[in-house]
Chains A and B, each alone.
Chain A
Amino acid sequence: MSDKKEALFSKKNLKLIKDPLDDNNPITVQVLGICSALAITVQLKPAVVMALSTFFVMCTANVVVSLMRNMIPSRIRIIIQLVVIATLVILVDQTLKAFVYDVSKELSVFVGLIITNCIIMGRLEAFALANKPWKSFMDGFGNSLGYALPLIVVAFFRELLGAGTLFGYPVIEKLGLYELGYENNGMMILPPMALVTCGVYIWIQRMRNKKLIEEN
């Protein structure tokens, strides 16, 4: 019963948000959801939209599954989780197609791939099935932020160094760096550089956070 009296933003609840940002980041520490992270980080805009879509799907799915946690027959719980996620993803996809058509074209298959994003399934199975809706929401919130952070950082550098733009705005050109002989690095746009940039991100993260370094 003490659970009910717990403040909405108690330390324990805030930890649910903070943890996935650094100590337990789904992409850089748990190495989940890597495929979508590598594929859509060429430009910032799709990365942000992907992060928002995942945010919506993860929070809602967590809450919905958490609300149903006592009703779901354990033998078909994975299927139920999938159905919930797939429904939400299709809703997101349809909405994008209707309101932000260009973005939906760019994301095309990747929106569908949110369904198979291991982070979401992982959170439902590990957290939402055993916790109350508010906590599950916080957990979804934290994990989607944890997914968004590396995604946006990687996309920032790939777009800036690869195409010389940010959100399509020609930053390098406005700064006049091309006249000084600067050239875009076309390599950054290619998929392998997503992996390398991600690697550099993990490297820096581990340099700062000693907890992540294994003993042996």
Chain B
Amino acid sequence: MDVNKNSYTIGFATLMVIIVAALLSSAAIGLKPLQSKNIEQEKKQNILKSVGIELDRELAEKDYSKYIKEELVINHLGEIQEGSAFNVDLSKELRKDTKDQSYPLYIAQIDGEARYIIPLRGKGLWGPIWGFISLEEDLNTVYAAVFDHKSETPGLGAEINRPFFQDPFTSKTIMENGKFVSIVVQKGGANGDVHKVDGISGGTITCDGVTDMIEERLSKYLPYFKSISTSMQVQKALEIVTQDESNDTISNINKRIID
């Protein structure tokens, strides 16, 4: 048979493509569950890492529910919506209008204190960057932050996933006299500013991406923070009143004893 005939060439190519397509799609479908499990575990691992708990992937999966108590979805007004934060795909949400987006929020309980974990996603130099930032109960102080990237320059922008870049975020604050100022990754060093973090030399565009990402994302949670901090204030006020009352009675008793 002449293998160089036009009809044979076209037939061969067609057959080849069909076989390859069948092979690849069956492999993709067959391995999908294992792959998505890995991705899910990694997400849980990163969420836990953002509140200072470093576990390997398998353990992270197990201990996740021990630490993460609530997975909320809120809207742009700060109202809680139905659904679970874990199933929100930020890359899709970011393409929507601010008003239509769902904002995922995780609340962890660590040593009896609540930590608010906010997922981040933004643009680096070459591709998307993402991460998680956790706030302490005062909704102002950063507890910890983790970042990762798809394709930033190795050795420069890619270093945002290293501890030396992430650790300084701890105990920085996002508010100044009740106003939102976010945290800036500063080229040339933070010099002790509580709202700034040292940048990476040679990775300025990626670092600016981190700054923008934190500002853009955190600002969307402010209405919610306001609503829970007022409820927290009310709760605190109530506590003080009840304490006052109990003090009152005790002081009365003392008085009576003195009397």
Residues of A within 8 A of B (CB): 70-76, 79-80, 83, 87, 90-91, 94-95, 97-99, 101, 108-109, 189-191
Contacts and interface: CB of A to CB of B under 8 A. Distances in A.
B23 A87 contact: yes
B38 A72 contact: no
A80 B17 CA distance: 9
Given A71-B3, A75-B4, A101-B35, 5 more contacts: A73-B4, A76-B13, A87-B20, A94-B31, A95-B31
Interface of B: 3-4, 8-9, 12-13, 16-17, 20, 23-24, 27-28, 31, 34-35, 38, 42, 57, 151, 154-155
A94 B35 contact: yes
A87 B24 contact: yes
B90 to A, nearest CB: 19
A101 B42 CA distance: 9
13 contacts: A71-B3, A73-B8, A76-B9, A79-B13, A80-B13, A83-B17, A87-B23, A90-B24, A91-B27, A108-B151, A189-B155, A190-B155, A191-B155
Contacts of A190: 155
Contacts of A74: 3-4
A87 B35 CA distance: 18
Nearest to A102: B57
A203 B3 CA distance: 47
Contacts of B9: 73, 75-76
A101 B41 CA distance: 10
A98 B3 contact: no
B31 A97 contact: yes
A101 B38 contact: yes
Contacts of A99: 34
Contacts of A108: 151
B151 A91 contact: no
Q: Give me the 3 closest cross-chain CB pairs, A-B, nearest first.
A: A98-B34, A101-B38, A73-B9
A79 B31 CA distance: 27
A168 to B, nearest CB: 13
A31 to B, nearest CB: 23
B3 A72 contact: yes
A99 B151 CA distance: 22
A72 B9 CA distance: 8
A80 B35 contact: no
A73 B35 contact: no
Contact of A83 (B16, B27, B28, B35): B16
A98 B16 contact: no
A76 B12 contact: yes
A70 B1 CA distance: 10
Contact of B38 (A79, A87, A91, A97): A97
A98 B37 CA distance: 9
Given A87-B24, A97-B35, A73 B12 contact: yes
Contacts of A87: 20, 23-24
A73 B3 contact: yes
Nearest to A71: B3
Contacts of A109: 151
A71 B35 contact: no
Contacts of B42: 101
B221 to A, nearest CB: 29
Nearest to A105: B42
Contact of B27 (A70, A72, A75, A94): A94
A97 B27 CA distance: 12
Contacts of A191: 154-155
A200 to B, nearest CB: 21
A75 B13 CA distance: 11
A98 B24 contact: no
B151 A98 contact: no
Contacts of B4: 73-75
Contacts of B28: 94
Contacts of A76: 9, 12-13
Nearest to A91: B27
B12 A83 contact: no
Contacts of B155: 189-191
A108 B12 CA distance: 32
Contact of A70 (B3, B35, B38): B3
Nearest to A75: B9
